[in-house]
Amino acid sequence: MRQVQATHGVSERRSCVALGVERSTIRYRSTKTDQAPLRLRIRDLAKTRVRYGYFRIYILLRREGWMVNHKRVYRLYREEGLSLRLKRPRRHVSAANRERQPAATTPKATSSVL
């Protein structure tokens, strides 16, 4: 945008029209606060309490005085790669420890009661 204005000597309005861009997108300034301190605190809590998920960390943050939404904590928790490993389903756990059945030595005996 600035390059077009400098090379052709036109106003911001005319350069936006020429490029097909809205002026509001050029002038936009984000008002979002910096999340670095919150990210750092979430990382520290997750490091000290390894088995805590995002919601328990959210509760700890609220107790410490952070006025933060649980959805923001979840988003930052996932972006930091702190999500807990998912446990294997119960059906696989029992099968993993089970011993194999011995091979059959004789044909199955059928009982016929008459």
The mean pLDDT value for 49-61 works out to 92
The model's pLDDT over 7-38, given as tens digits with 9 standing for 90+, comes to 889 998 999 998 899 999 888 888 888 899 99
Evaluate whether 67 touches 33 at the Cβ level (below 8 Å): no
Could you tell me what percent of the chain has a pLDDT over 90? 39
Overall average pLDDT of the 31-46 stretch: 92
CA 79 remoteness from chain centre: 5
Q: What is the model's pLDDT at position 86?
A: 66
pTM above 0.85, yes or no: no
Q: Domain coordinates of the chain in residue numbers? A: 1-29, 32-84
